[in-house]
Amino acid sequence: MPVKVLFRGIPAVALAVTAFAFPAFAADTNAPNQNETKEQRDARMAWWREAKFGMFIHWGVYSISAGRYGDQEIPGLSEWIMHDGKIPLAEYAEFPKRFNPTKFNAEAWVKIAKDAGQKYIVITAKHHDGFAMFQSKVSDYNICDATPFQRDPLKELAAACEKEGIKLGFYYSQAQDWGHPGGAARDGHWDPAQDGDFDAYLDKIAVPQVQELLSNYGPSVPAVLWFDTPENMTPERAAKFFPLLKTRPELIVNNRLGGGFKGDTETPEGFIPPNGFPGRDWETCMTMNHSWGYCQRDTDWKSTADLIRNLVEIASEGGNYLLNVGPTREGLMPEACVERLKQVGAWMKINGESIYGTTAGPFPNLSWGRATRKGQELFLHVQTWPSNGLLRVPLANKISAAVLLTQPDKQLEVRNEGNVTLVSLPATAPDAVGSVVRLDFEGEPIVPTTPG
Ligand code: FHN
């Protein structure tokens, strides 16, 4: 089938930047959690701050095409294929008829996340193509009514997550919807079947579907609601969602609803902000390759070492890491992802205490690695092993204990020299990617501006 390719080569980061190029509106006093105290907020965010590491899942009928349409490769993100290939709605609506991911096993997916050390999952309930990956009474353009599969994966995931103690969140594309009349499309509609009134679309599709997502999966699912690309959203339009969000006081909502709604979390996409977002909770979302949805040609996977170092860098700046997997049309996670997640999990098994529940480290920079903090413990992530066996830590506090997490029963020799704490390390690093030293220190960290 010939397809006109109109991809404009928008990388993920650029998409993120353009997505937020909206004027800032005054905070709406009707917005959820406006009057929350710091204590209430800390309690609401507690599990998320402890979790640090989550799995993002982009799964939809775009995994059928996996980056190809007819005999053409469609450049760009595989989940944008309908947009970038300018595929008419009636043609795209043929995809669901071929979507039968019989190998999908919610328990297996949750186990992959759990074994990786991930504490929460956020899955695409509806992406920009407008196809709902859940049972929806609002529109029959959904996985239960429009595919031979006829199962609701969100329901199965909710049950599996509950069993394993993993939190489940839903991604919902509230503004862009290329499958329902009136839904927004970046750069405009390409098929007259998409034309319609945006407010009517919000009232008839987006708001009621969010209500379904907030009502049909039990009292604690979704734990997170992850909006995206707020095209055309205004404060009035964002406010249509507020009464619903307020029905779930424990819900965590990201900052992409639009209309000036700040939400609970900043969401840098594909990059790590050098100093985090002081005073704000934040989460870097990132794919393991380039696409978010499954894309057959996209095999440029980040290495396990990169994934671990990203996680460490993010934690050292006080953020969470939401790492994406794009499962296949059969319902399987790509082997390359599973393998890497397993290896990250092996590292987390030993070093997890240096990540979970930590806050940013106290050092502006360290020549040999990164640091995280949990109360009176500092975790030194040594990525460049000192050739003389002495780790120089710009810290003047009294140290009561120092151990390598690989050998927690063996105390390391520590001494203070001026402003610097010197830790004696073994000749070789126990872990080539990142070995962690835990320092138990007294008082508040004293970090000299000019290390001695
Ligand atoms: O356009 C989407 C993209 O497909 C993907 O879902 C990412 C994930 O954060 N968000 C959008 C771009 O900002």
Query: Is the minimum distance from the CB of 254 to ligand 1 under 6 angstroms?
Result: no
Atom of ligand 1 nearest to the CA of 176: 1
Query: Is the minimum distance from the CB of 19 to ligand 1 under 6 angstroms?
Result: yes
Query: Is the minimum distance from the CB of 269 to ligand 1 under 6 angstroms?
Result: yes
| Ligand 1 centroid to residue 110 C-alpha, Å | 22
Cα(57)–Cα(285) distance, rounded to whole angstroms? Answer: 11
Tokens of 370: 């990164």
Cα(271)–Cα(267) distance, rounded to whole angstroms? Answer: 10
Query: Is the minimum distance from the CB of 190 to ligand 1 under 6 angstroms?
Result: no
Q: What does each of the 452 residues of the chain score in pLDDT, given as a tens digit?
A: 333 322 222 333 333 433 343 444 445 668 999 899 999 999 999 999 999 999 999 999 999 999 999 999 999 999 999 999 999 999 999 999 999 999 999 999 999 999 999 999 999 999 999 999 999 999 999 999 999 999 999 999 999 999 999 999 999 999 999 999 999 999 999 999 999 999 999 999 999 999 999 999 999 999 999 999 999 999 999 999 999 999 999 999 999 999 999 999 999 999 999 999 999 999 999 999 999 999 999 999 999 999 999 999 999 999 999 999 999 999 999 999 999 999 999 999 999 999 999 999 999 999 999 999 999 999 999 999 999 999 999 999 999 999 999 999 999 999 999 999 999 999 999 999 999 999 999 999 999 986 54
Query: Is the minimum distance from the CB of 285 to ligand 1 under 6 angstroms?
Result: yes
Coil, strand or helix at 450: coil
Query: Is the minimum distance from the CB of 116 to ligand 1 under 6 angstroms?
Result: no
Return the CATH number of the domain spanning residue range 361-441: 2.60.40.1180
81, 122, 228, best to mutate for ligand 1 pocket (most atoms within 8 Å of CB): 228
| Ligand 1 centroid to residue 106 C-alpha, Å | 23
Cβ atoms 317, 51 nearer than 8 A: no
In the DSSP assignment, the letter for residue 87 is -
Query: Is the minimum distance from the CB of 292 to ligand 1 under 6 angstroms?
Result: yes
Estimate the crossing angle of helix 335-351 against helix 304-316, to 10 degrees: 50
Cβ atoms 195, 181 nearer than 8 A: yes
Tokens of 260: 């000036």
First to last CA, the chain: 69
List strand residue ranges (DSSP E) for 244-367, in order: 252-253, 265-266, 281-287, 320-325, 359-360
| Ligand 1 centroid to residue 288 C-alpha, Å | 14
Query: Is the minimum distance from the CB of 15 to ligand 1 under 6 angstroms?
Result: yes
Could you tell me if residue 196 is left (phi over 0), alpha (psi between -120 and 50 degrees) or otherwise beta?
Answer: left
Query: Is the minimum distance from the CB of 77 to ligand 1 under 6 angstroms?
Result: yes
Cβ atoms 333, 56 nearer than 8 A: no
Atom of ligand 1 nearest to the CA of 79: 4
80, 126, 266, 292, best to mutate for ligand 1 pocket (most atoms within 8 Å of CB): 292
Q: What predicted TM-score, i.e. pTM, was given to this entire model?
A: 0.94
Query: Is the minimum distance from the CB of 283 to ligand 1 under 6 angstroms?
Result: no
The domain limits of the chain are 34-354, 361-441
- Phi first, then psi, for residue 239 (nearest 5°) are -65, -20
Atom of ligand 1 nearest to the CA of 16: 13
Cα(431)–Cα(294) distance, rounded to whole angstroms? Answer: 32
| Ligand 1 centroid to residue 13 C-alpha, Å | 9
Atom of ligand 1 nearest to the CA of 171: 6
Coil, strand or helix at 235: helix
269, 287, 289, 322, best to mutate for ligand 1 pocket (most atoms within 8 Å of CB): 269
Has domain 34-354 been given CATH number 3.20.20.80?
Answer: yes
